[in-house]
Structure 1
Amino acid sequence: MPSDRINGLAAVLDAVRTGSQVTQPMLVERVGLGRSVVAQRVAELESAGLIEGAGLGPSSGGRAPRRLRLRAERGQVLGVDIAATELVVGLADLGGTLLATRQHPIDVADGPEAVLSLAERLADELIGAHAAPIWAVGVGVPGPVEFRSGLPVVPPIMPGWNRYPIRDRFSARYGAPVWVDNDVNVMALGELRSDPEAVAAGHMLYVRAGVGIGAAIVMDGRLYRGANGSAGDIGHVAIPEGGNTICRCGNLGCLEAVAGGTALAREGRMLAETGQSPALAAALAASGAIRPIDVTQAATQGDQAARALLQRTSALLGGTLATLVSFYNPALLVLGGGIVRAKEHVLATIQEAIHRRALPLATQNLRIDVATLPEELSGVTGAVHLALDEVFSPANLETWLAEGSPRVSGAGTHAAR
């Protein structure tokens, strides 16, 4: 267990790196430590090269206090967001500001060797253009992750990934500590670090509805992962409307099997082939396939069959979310993923289902809205903050503070420069 000194250092560092124009008197109020103790911790962090003075703050009658800032340029963090059909890699400074990103279409079912080799190539391009060393790596994947080990565990849409050592592979290559989590958890982290209202809510459900469906649970401003890391995996709960529809996980009647992106594309294709949707029939003739975005675009064009399909899908999702709202009683429910593109066609139906079926007390002050970050940035932003939160946590800070950085000496093809 970290000492009081390390806990104090981590608390001061966290307040500086997440605050704006923080002064030493502000730190006394925010971290709950005495003035002399805060002064000692600030001096130690300055000596370690993690924070520095940044001018003077406003005076309250006496000597103007010093502002403090994180030396964000000392190192960089690599974020890797692996989705079912797209890969996003980003490079950020130690404050979490994205410096550059790369995107590339993928099929996660191609397996870890193909996908991770591409991720490494994109990451190397980013690293080659920036001089600071990599301090940490955060990775999000579209399946259940045992958080302590960083291993994917029987992920339904990721054949060949079961217990693949993602952490070991990236750590050996980049000579830095690595954390791996479920993609919905990292998207929720991205929202927490980008939306002040998410921070103020404290208790939040983040629901990603796209090719897959999953939820992240935020309690008192922190992710709740459960005993092993699988909390929030709502895509594979059985619902009455699921019937005998076979899910990719092998079970019958899962929410994802009837309300996920694959189901939406399947039903959209049926509407196209039967002539019920002229817009989807045109999309099928043009490309030979129907994607979830084709359904959204058809609905936006006024296609009634596509609109009805989106409403049925969102009603199914809303029914399950009503149960979660009654069970957890969040202050904020955020919808992310591909469903955001269909906001105008689905949000009202989801809200109606939740308010109709959830307990009145649970919805009394509930706010329901879509994610503030664009889908292509939410995962990579969250992956960066996953790495930052962990590398600066008391337990990890204690292991590397004396060395000056969390770099693994001599490890990887991108060792410290």
Structure 2
Amino acid sequence: MRTGATFAYSRQKFRMVGQAQHEEKRVSTERIEGLAAVLTAVRNSEGMTQPRLTQHVGLGRSVVAQRVAELESAGLITDDGYGPSTGGRAPRRLRIRAEAGYVVGVDITAQRLVVGVADLAGTLLAQLEEVVDVADGPDAVLTTAERLIDDHLESIGRIARVWAIGIGVPGPVEFRTGQPVAPPIMPGWDRYPVRDRLAQRYGAPAWLDNDVNLLALAELRTNPAASAARNMLYMRADVGVGAGLVVKGELYRGANGSAGDIGHVAIPEGGDAICRCGNTGCLEAVAGGAALAREGRMLADTRQSPALAATLAETGTVRPLDVTLAAEKGDPAARALLQRSAHLLGGMLATLVSFYNPNLLVIGGGIVRARAHVLAAIREAIYRRSLPLATQDLRIEMSSLPDDLGGVTGAVHLALDEVFSPGRLARWLDAGSPAGQPYIATDDMLERPA
């Protein structure tokens, strides 16, 4: 009996310890999620006050006060004056301590590299740009990127305070591993450890994503209409064609990171046009920048476009921009070419609008320069071919971000969003900063060094 009683007591004690550990874990999770929610609200809303925080994050007033005090003690948020009084004492305004650290953004495009350093509020403090050819391979391009990053950090004198790095590339990315996967225009980059290389060099967590997702994220964080919309479709039409999806205010990447790769969807009008991905009939092959250049060259060679023929004679080439410039001069053939591309893009967007039903569509990339000649045609195709309910509240607009700022801005906000997410925050908060802890970007805690 004594043995049985002892066993029963031990079992009950074990169960109580397990329940206590479970409760402790639950409270800890709730605490971190509350801290992250308060921090995100302060980051993304200028002039946030504690009473507004209570409404915004859905936590009780005393809990919000505790989380604010904890974030202030950690040096992450601070006072920013007082907000308007509603009858009692004026409430404190809060802001993130932007000066506490720095994040790095790297935007790699087919022919350009942009590197920026920003504070913790996402404000770009410095930006450098250099011409590169992504086809030269990862070592050449990333060596140039590292040189520009070093120059930036040396200029502000805070090399040891890099908190996080965001990187964008013009190809498919497996977000979990931070590696490009079979990118069509990036020879030598397949499965190259881009994220890990920069993380190890700078001792900071790093994240890699495709360039269109970063452009969508830049809109979400800088465009009030995008922030308010919550469900947004971003399409970039440039040398390549791609889309970024935002669902309930968050990027949607799909199972492996390839959501939105619409440029390589076959369309009936694609015929046997060969795409850079190796397939035929892709949207990009007939409506992307390379297609515009190819068809523009044909119009110049056959003298169907006097303006493009003059450009070819003067420069020896025809670029997508030249087609836009010719259209602006009133060249009928150039205008017709842009209209055809717009109808093809609009047809694809109509399908996406009916399928996804966003309330905001933002169009960016080089096509923005031709907005006077393409926007009406894109709108017409969408409203003609989409379901009426899908377009009932749809707003369509061109991106307002400069072409050289969108990618690096998105890269900066990728780094900030990830490093301040609940799971990441829990892994570095006690240390005071994520600097020197590159392993927190990985999903596997076993990768943490001993």
| TM-score strictly above 0.5 | yes
Mean CA deviation greater in 334-343 or 33-42: 33-42
Shift of 1:135: 0.6
Per-residue deviation, residues 25-55 of structure 1 (Å, max 9, x unmatched): 1111111111111111111111111111222
> Residue 131 of structure 1 is aligned with which of 157, 169, 178?
157
Shift of 1:23: 1.4
**Which residue is 1:414 aligned to?**
none
Is 1:94 the equivalent of 2:120? yes
Per-residue deviation, residues 349-371 of structure 1 (Å, max 9, x unmatched): 11111111111111122111100
**Which residue is 2:39 aligned to?**
13
Per-residue deviation, residues 157-196 of structure 1 (Å, max 9, x unmatched): 1111101101111011111100100100000000011111
Which one-letter code corresponds to 1:213 in the other structure? V
Is 1:241 the equivalent of 2:269? yes
- Tell me the distance in 2 between the aligned counterparts of 1:349 and 1:59: 50
Pairing 1:27-176 to 2, within 5 Å after superposition:
27-132=53-158, 133-176=161-204
- Tell me the distance in 1 between the aligned counterparts of 2:412 and 2:125: 11
Shift of 1:56: 2.2
CA contact (8 A) 2:77 2:95 kept: yes
Is 1:286 the equivalent of 2:314? yes
- Tell me the distance in 2 between the aligned counterparts of 1:26 and 1:315: 45
> Residue 409 of structure 2 is aligned with which of 381, 384, 387?
381
Shift of 1:63: 2.3
Shift of 1:290: 1.2
RCO (CA 8 Å, sep 6+): is it higher in 1 or 2?
1
Shift of 1:406: 0.3
Q: Structure 1: which 5+ runs fail to align?
A: 412-417
Shift of 1:293: 0.6
Shift of 1:409: 5.9
Identity %: 70
CA RMSD of aligned residues (A): 1.4
Normalising to structure 2: TM-score of the pair? 0.89
Return structure 1 stretches of 4+ with deviation > 6 angstroms: none
Is 1:355 the equivalent of 2:383? yes
Shift of 1:64: 2.2
**Based on CA coordinates, which of the two structures has the bigger radius of gyration?**
2
Q: 1:407 to 1:317 in 2, by over 3 A?
A: same
Which one-letter code corresponds to 2:56 in the other structure? R
Q: Structure 2: which 5+ runs fail to align?
A: 1-24, 440-450
Is 1:332 the equivalent of 2:357? no
- Tell me the distance in 2 between the aligned counterparts of 1:363 and 1:56: 42
**Which residue is 1:406 aligned to?**
434
- Tell me the distance in 2 between the aligned counterparts of 1:290 and 1:117: 31
Instruction: For residue 373 of structure 2, give the secondary structure of its aligned residue in structure 1.
Output: helix
Mean CA deviation greater in 286-295 or 186-195: 286-295
> Residue 366 of structure 1 is aligned with which of 390, 394, 412?
394
CA contact (8 A) 2:205 2:437 kept: no
CA contact (8 A) 2:105 2:117 kept: yes
Per-residue deviation, residues 3-34 of structure 1 (Å, max 9, x unmatched): 10000110111111111111111111111111
Shift of 1:382: 0.6
> Residue 309 of structure 1 is aligned with which of 328, 337, 352?
337
- Tell me the distance in 2 between the aligned counterparts of 1:54 and 1:267: 56
Pairing 1:207-218 to 2, within 5 Å after superposition:
207-218=235-246
- Tell me the distance in 2 between the aligned counterparts of 1:86 and 1:379: 11
CA contact (8 A) 2:200 2:438 kept: no
**Which residue is 2:12 aligned to?**
none
Number of aligned residues: 411
